Amino acid sequence: MTDTPIADANRGHATHTKAAEDQTGLPGSIDRPLNVTVIGAGSMFTPRLINDILRIPGAEAGRINLVDIDPERLGTMRQLIQRLVEQLGRAEGWTVNASTDRREALAGSDFIVVTIEVSGLDCVRFDNDIPAKYGVDQCIGDTIGPGGLFKGLRTIPVFMDILADAEDLCLDALVLNYTNPMNMLCRAAAERSAMRVVGLCHSVQGTGRLLASRAGVPYAELDWECAGINHLAWFTRLEHDGEDLYPRLFERARRDLAGDPADPDDAGDLVRKDMMLNFGAFITESSGHLSEYLPYYRPRPEEHGRYLRDHYEGGSSFYANEWPAWRAEADESRNRMLAGEEPMDWDRSFEYASWIVEAIMKNADFRFHGNLPNRTPDGGLLIDNLPAGDIVEVECLVNGAGVQPRAHGSLPAQMAAICRSNLAVFELGVAAALERRREPAIHALMLDPLTAACCPPADIRRMTLELFEAEKDFLPAYA
């Protein structure tokens, strides 16, 4: 995390011009204390997100409200954030509060950051292993497919309860959602909540940095446009000093796929490289994630070696196998920080949350990519060839007037079609969660690109019902 995005209001796309060590921030001043609530504060995201907020220039005072249903992890996080406040010299103006009662914390909030995990540790093996019995091989399983769908079925009802409390206690707050499945949660909010919600992910800005490195150009000089849906957004333009960078990226990708890499240290990420060559643009999410959103790469185990590698490169059951250990390591890391055995000397990161907070509080322009309903204030579409009721990921301007998404126009037809193949799953998944019905969930997986490539409809129905039975204690009231 070496660069931080800074707005350039005079250009039609995001630009990135200052390094993280440059803490001058955006122009303007903040004239009142901030009130920020983090729900799911036991998350791995919390320490760095709060560090970013505390490093906003001019944010001299505020209140940080930490909410989690796990009292032990919440208590540890409160101590850690208090230590961070003191370390950054902010103790005089900032207070840190922790509660398992979110209504107590939400009252008066300006910004709500959602980083929740609902029954994930209890259900991750069900989400992975039951589909594997039917031949559906997953790497991550938190966005789409059987794992993503059932994560959504567990999470959407809780998310909607949070939003209902926010409507009652802080209707004017902006909700910054980091929880997956991003598209489904944001769609449910758009359909049923009066809260302003924007979904945030680091895949656009992270991939931009990756592409600049591969093309051999400074990231601050990269000129690009990106649009689509979360984890399936496309860099439709990628230039440097007026030169199209794709020809050099295509050549590198061809060599990597042929086993003759120009850079042996960057010879992987083969799913994204293959999709770029065949569809015309690079996609924002890692090859392991991406392989689950498509019908091409995972259904035939004998061909996994062509495109899939271990870990985030596409390893089978990677998330289910590793996540419990990651969670335990995160807890151990926090204890080391509290003991002074592990430093917390982080620069302000390129995660969008703190920059959005700063832009609104200072009424200064900042551009970022967010997940919002596919509509403009005048009744048009942000992406012309994606459906009006769906959530899209596009460039947005934010300032004192709030988040203002920019209309992108149309995606190339083949790219829009790939997005639509996932949006159909999200539409039915949200219907299943909001209506607490199993049949839309079954149909969602019948339309899921990977699942449909692995199973006939009758097997998909059996698999979905088996998942419902295994997770019945975590999925109350699904008829």
User: What would the 3-class secondary structure string for the chain be?
Assistant: CCEECCCCCCCCCCCCCEECCCCCCCCCCCCCCEEEEEECCCCCCHHHHHHHHHCCCCCCCEEEEEECCCHHHHHHHHHHHHHHHHHCCCCCCEEEEEECCHHHHHCCCCEEEECCCCCHHHHHHHHHHHHHHCCCCCCCCCCCHHHHHHHHHHHHHHHHHHHHHHHHHCCCCEEEECCCCHHHHHHHHHHHCCCEEEECCCHHHHHHHHHHHHHCCCHHHCEEEEEEECCEEEEEEEEECCEECHHHHHHHHHHHHCCCCCCHHHCCCHHHHHHHHHHCCEECCCHHHHHHCCCCCCCCHHHHHHHCCCHHHCCCCHHHHHHHHHHHHHHHHHHHHHCCCCCCCCCCCCCHHHHHHHHHHHCCCEEEEEEEECCCCCCCCCECCCCCCCEEEEEEEEECCEEEECCCECCCHHHHHHHHHHHHHHHHHHHHHHHCCHHHHHHHHHHCHHHHHHCCHHHHHHHHHHHHHHCHHHCCCCC
Task: Check pLDDT > 50 for residue 219.
Answer: yes
Residue 191 lies inside a defined structural domain of this protein: yes
Residue 416 lies inside a defined structural domain of this protein: no
Residue 252 lies inside a defined structural domain of this protein: no
- pLDDT of res. 20: 34
Task: Check pLDDT > 60 for residue 23.
Answer: no
Residue 466 lies inside a defined structural domain of this protein: no
Residue 4 lies inside a defined structural domain of this protein: no
**Residue 443 annotated among the catalytic residues of the structure:** no
The mean of the pLDDT values for the chain is: 94
Residue 194 lies inside a defined structural domain of this protein: yes
Residue 367 lies inside a defined structural domain of this protein: yes
- Look at 17-26, 54-63, 93-102, 406-415 and tell me which has the smallest mean pLDDT: 17-26
Quick one: what percent of the chain has pLDDT higher than 70?
A: 95
Task: Check pLDDT > 70 for residue 14.
Answer: no
- pLDDT of res. 251: 97
Q: Which of 13, 16, 202, 443 is catalytic?
A: 202
Where residue 371 sits, what CATH number does that domain have?
3.90.1820.10
Residue 267 lies inside a defined structural domain of this protein: no
For the segment 305-324, what is each residue's pLDDT rounded down to a tens digit? 999 999 999 999 999 999 99
For the segment 254-302, what is each residue's pLDDT rounded down to a tens digit? 999 999 998 999 999 999 999 999 999 999 999 999 999 999 999 999 9
For the segment 85-106, what is each residue's pLDDT rounded down to a tens digit? 999 999 999 999 999 999 999 9
Structural domain containing residue 155: 11-120+143-201+331-383
Instruction: Count the domains in the chain.
Output: 1
